Amino acid sequence: MSKANGNFNRTQYRLGFFLLLAPIVLWLSLLIILPHIDMVLVSLRERIASRQYGFSFSNYTAFFTEPLYWNTFVRTAVMSIVATVLTLLIAFPVSFYIAKVLTGRPRIALFILCLLPFWVSELVRTYGWMILLRETGLISGALQWFGLADQPVEMLYNDVAIMVGLIYTSMLFMVVPLVTTLDSLDNSLIEAGYDLGGSSWNVMRSIVIPHAMPGIMSGCIVVFMLTLGNYLTPTLLGGKSSLWFTEQIYTQFITRFNWEQGAAFGILLLILSSLIVWLGLKITRQSFTRVMS
Amino acid sequence: MSDQACASGADAGVQEDLACTLLSKHFGEFAAVDGVSFSIPRGAFFSILGPSGCGKTTLLRMLAGFQQPDSGDILIKGKSVLNTPPNKRPVNMVFQHLALFPTMSVAENIAYGLKRKGIPKREHATLIDEVLAKVHLPGYGDKRIDQLSGGQKQRVAIARCLVLNPAVLLLDEPLGALDLKLREQMKIELKRLQREFNTTFVYITHDQSEALVMSDQVAVMNKGRFEQVGTPQELYYQPKTAFVAGFVGNSNQYAGKVQSQSGDLVTLVTEQGVRLLSHASQPLVAGSPITLFVRPEVMQLSTSRPATEQDNCLAVTVSRVLFDGAQSRVQVETAEGAELTVALPQTADFQALEAGRSVHVSWQASQCLCFPAPVDTKPLGTP
């Protein structure tokens, strides 16, 4: 009797377990795994004739033989890494100030200030930068008014403009994990660092940064992924010369209707981002599970 | 007069590792530390004992340099350190939660301070081994902090400071997180370490037993001021204020009124109407309210009326036996309803003592103390 009851409870427990698991399984399989499998299959075929396809690596060989594709790919990776590092350098002092220096209301206020720009869409924010940076924009006008420039200055459509836009867009995703990890650092550890004779630099290097490492890495991973896959900011602020890899993918899918080539590019981008994240974790000796927890 | 005393104390500072003169710190209206002066002889174990919120942590943080006093001066080895930042002061601190660096091993924790002091790297290993041996943790250098037990962490935290040979070691209630058995061991261990390193220790705690067992000198702190500074024996047997009498050791406390005084002897009546005789060190006005302190262990418990004449003798009924081994106590009640807690002698006579029994308690007037009451409304700043 009691055994039957136990069995019943167990069945019920397992049913509950699968029901709770169902949404994430469905989400993963239908929206992530299936499309990616299909994309791999699409990327590995070649159009022989109308509605006739054969297996081929030609989409991948095209990538390695055409310098434009290859250069854009490397350029996107390097620019994303630089943007990630710059975001970290700007966000770390801000986060430290929020987490360790401020208390009470000013602390919440500053945190909300970091969050505030994200209440408007990325498109509107990027247009904001365009209003500032374009030839007839605010900064150009101000420079002329002060006599620092004798003609309108075009500050859009170059790498610096792209970089500024990318950092601006990514800031929050770096600040949040950093504030969280720095918050968990016991203040007495910092005081002990000073008490034992350390300078501010010693304390930062030996105590604060080692403690914040998981937060630094998780922020970097998120920012790097977002930057690498960003389409809007490089296109609007960099214009035609931006040469961002996502634009290549867009062109293949939408303009040239070459889904096979676009799929191959997508897969390559996925491999690239996974590889760089893996390398970053290896170099800093952090484990993925620790960084993501 | 008191200024002069302080000045001469500062001049004689060569013999003193640490001296403070009229140190004050206010947070808004609240005086956390209020005109505290003291000096600690070289190599002494000095404790600051007080309830939470009495300002002892603020005082310690000022000594370490994490807080700047509003007024007053701090002298370490005769030199003012007010303008010395914490990382340059010759004091080190053992934090309440120890603050060992979790990202470093035991040896790295100890080496951190050595590196900052500019000691050549080749000497580190010897120094670390030496200090670990002294705290009875030989060969623990490669362990991670989270592999250590509570007591071992304590020792590492102390070793990390003592390896730097500070003039003064500050300890901020480091035993608070340990369980009772370990705490008893660590008390003896700390005292041993202090002797062995011959370093001046300043230990703050709210636990009177820690202060009494370990210290050469104890300062009892209340509301930002030192109530009394003395040896543990002085504080226990000759408390100068009602606060010290109530805070150090266990006492039965009674509110009452003075009936008459002749010399040191005061006749008083408690609120419940029990007439008692007590020793008093100051003149008291007849009719003025007082608080009487009687320690549980000075009271004699007897089954019949004692043969010799006692100053105070009460017929009481046992209301509860609180068995706690050697620290067992009995709660008794007089016919008037006044409650007393009496130490239970570990003799055969009282083995069978149970609630409802009639017994006698007696004690000499010289063994209890009374102070003017009420304590709480005594205005701050009056001597």
pLDDT digits (tens, 9 = 90+) for B71-96: 999 999 888 999 999 999 999 999 99
- Distance, in Å, from the CA atom of B165 to the CA atom of B154, rounded to the nearest integer, reads 17
- Of all residues in chain B, the percent with pLDDT exceeding 70 is 93
Chain A partners of B102 at a C-beta cutoff of 8 Å?
Answer: 211
Instruction: Give the minimum alpha-carbon distance from B161 to chain A in angstroms, rounded to a whole number.
Output: 7
In single-letter form, the type of residue at position B70 comes to D
**A interface residues, B as partner, C-beta within 8 Å:** 186, 188-189, 191-199, 202, 206-207, 210-211
Q: What is the predicted pLDDT for the residue at B8?
A: 41
Q: What is the predicted pLDDT for the residue at B2?
A: 39
Residues facing A132 on adjacent strands = none
- pLDDT reading at B3 higher than 50: no
Q: What tokens appear for B25 in the block? A: 């710190």
CA dihedral A139, A143, A146, A150 (to 10 degrees): -150
| B contact test, residue of A185, A191, A196, A213 with most B CBs within 10 A | A196
- pLDDT reading at B279 higher than 90: no
Q: pLDDT tens-digit profile of A255-277? A: 888 888 999 999 999 999 999 99
Instruction: Give the minimum alpha-carbon distance from A207 to chain B in angstroms, rounded to a whole number.
Output: 7
- Please say whether the beta carbons of B97 and B85 come within 8 A: no
- pLDDT reading at B6 higher than 90: no
Q: What is the predicted pLDDT for the residue at B13?
A: 41
Q: What tokens appear for B377 in the block? A: 């409304």
- Among B228, B210, B207, which residue's Cα sits nearest to residue B219? B228
Question: What is the band of A292 on the pLDDT scale with cuts at 50, 70, 90?
Answer: confident
Q: What tokens appear for B5 in the block? A: 């005393």
Determine the Cα angle at A219 with ends A217 and A223, to 5°: 115
CA dihedral B318, B320, B321, B327 (to 10 degrees): -100
Averaged pLDDT, A6-13: 76
Question: What is the band of A6 on the pLDDT scale with cuts at 50, 70, 90?
Answer: low
- Distance, in Å, from the CA atom of B152 to the CA atom of B243, rounded to the nearest integer, reads 36
- Distance, in Å, from the CA atom of B126 to the CA atom of B130, rounded to the nearest integer, reads 6
- pLDDT reading at B113 higher than 90: yes
Q: Of the candidates A195, A198, A206, which has its C-beta nearest B93's C-beta?
A: A195
pTM here is: 0.79
Lowest model confidence (mean pLDDT) among B52-61, B143-152, B323-332, B373-382:
B373-382
- Distance, in Å, from the CA atom of A190 to the CA atom of B101, rounded to the nearest integer, reads 9
Question: What is the band of A3 on the pLDDT scale with cuts at 50, 70, 90?
Answer: low
- Distance, in Å, from the CA atom of A262 to the CA atom of A39, rounded to the nearest integer, reads 9
Lowest model confidence (mean pLDDT) among A158-167, B211-220, B329-338, B366-375:
B366-375
The secondary structure of residue B288, as a DSSP letter, is -
Q: pLDDT tens-digit profile of B148-202? A: 998 899 999 999 999 999 999 999 998 887 888 888 888 999 999 999 989 999 9
Which residues does B325 contact at the CB level (< 8 Å), separation at least 6? none
- pLDDT reading at A46 higher than 50: yes
Chain CA centroid to CA A44, Å: 28
Q: What tokens appear for B126 in the block? A: 């010897």
- Distance, in Å, from the CA atom of B53 to the CA atom of B325, rounded to the nearest integer, reads 33
Chain A partners of B118 at a C-beta cutoff of 8 Å?
Answer: none
Averaged pLDDT, B241-266: 86
Residues facing B93 on adjacent strands = B170
Q: pLDDT tens-digit profile of A169-205? A: 899 999 999 999 999 999 999 999 999 999 999 999 9
- pLDDT reading at B1 higher than 60: no
Q: What is the predicted pLDDT for the residue at B14?
A: 52
